[in-house]
Copies of this chain bind each other. A is one copy, B any other.
Amino acid sequence: MGSSLKVVGLGPGDSALLTPQAQKAITDADVIVGYTLYVDLVPEELKEGKELVSTGMMGEMARCEKAIEIALSGKSTVVVCSGDPGIYAMSGLIYELAEEHLDTLEIEVVAGIPALSAASALLGAPLMHDFAVISLSDLLTEWDIIEKRLKAAAEADFVIVLYNPKSKRRDWQIGKALEIVGTVRDAGTPVGLVKSAYRKEQEVKVFSLNSFDIEQVDMLSTIIIGNSTTRMIGQNIVTPRGYLKKYRK
């Protein structure tokens, strides 16, 4: 073991949500690698004196290969991701691409507050019961598989968290997803939309399933669809765990 590569979660982006463990990992590193937007999210004081490799135009594969190459050269390296690096982010690809180097490269994943937790906190308490997390990006996954999972999650009454609902080139998936869920779930089911959680552009909106405005969804959105028991309490989406039903019959 000589080389160190850490995949670090920045959380939503506000430094108030960056864990001390993540701060320390960045502070201890020689090099910070990441998509430009994410490197920008790293607090300035943590970047001082570091070599920054921000890769706006580079794809995920090239970025991870670059990070591994730098770490193997002996420089202590962090790859920064928004949210949690373990949820639809870079930790998996780092392990896959570094497979032949595991004897000499020490890889560590440093968890961050995931988008699902940030969205949930801003919406109230929608994730109090079983939930399914589904990415609507069909760039790497066939749409048939995504559709099968949407149906299964809807029919088994999971609360559903949607990641990657839309991008410049993917605009119809979110409408289709809501249509699938709508075939088995009430039209009035609360649906929460959180954009740019804990950043200055933050927006938090609540719709019902049949009034959801897909025009408002962007690349930085997370969507949470309630299950059959989810209801509004004031402005908050709450999925009861079942205490009141059991103890106040």
- A residues sitting closer than 8 Å to B (CB atoms) are 9, 11, 14-21, 24, 60-61, 84-89, 91-96, 99, 102, 107, 109-114, 117-118, 120-122, 124-135, 139-141, 145-146, 148-149, 151-153, 155-158, 233-234, 236, 238-247
Q: How far is the CB of A177 from chain B (nearest CB, A)?
A: 12
Minimum CB–CB distance from A172 to chain B (whole Å) comes to 19
Known: A243-B93, A246-B140. A117 touches B19 (CB 8 A): no
Determine the chain B residues whose CB is within 8 A of the CB of A120 once the complex forms. 84, 86-87, 109, 111
Task: Indicate if the CB atoms of B241 and A140 lie closer than 8 Å.
Answer: yes
For A151, the chain B residues whose CB sits under 8 A away are 156
Number of copies: 2
List 6 A-B pairs, Cβ < 8 Å: A93-B243, A95-B124, A95-B238, A99-B233, A109-B120, A109-B124
Assuming the contacts A114-B114, A149-B158, asked whether A92 and B240 have C-beta atoms less than 8 A apart, the reply is yes
Taken together as a complex, chains A and B put the C-alpha atoms of A157 and B86 apart, in Å, by 18
Are B130 and A133 neighbours in the complex by a CB distance under 8 Å?
A: yes
Question: Would you call A234 and B130 a contact (CB within 8 A)?
Answer: no
- A240 to chain B: which residues have CB within 8 Å? 92, 96
Measured CB to CB, the nearest residue on chain B to A139 is B246
| Residues B242 and A141 in contact, CB atoms below 8 Å apart | yes
Name A86's contact: one of B127, B145, B146 (CB within 8 Å): B127
A234 touches B99 (CB 8 A): yes
- Cβ contacts under 8 Å, A243 to chain B: 60-61, 93, 96, 140
A149 to B152, CA, bound (A): 9
Top 6 nearest A-B pairs by Cβ distance?
A140-B242, A92-B128, A152-B156, A92-B125, A91-B125, A86-B120
Knowing that A15-B20, A96-B233, A140-B246 touch, tell me 14 more A-B residue pairs with CB under 8 angstroms: A18-B19, A85-B121, A86-B120, A86-B125, A91-B121, A95-B124, A95-B238, A96-B240, A99-B233, A130-B149, A132-B133, A132-B158, A141-B242, A149-B158
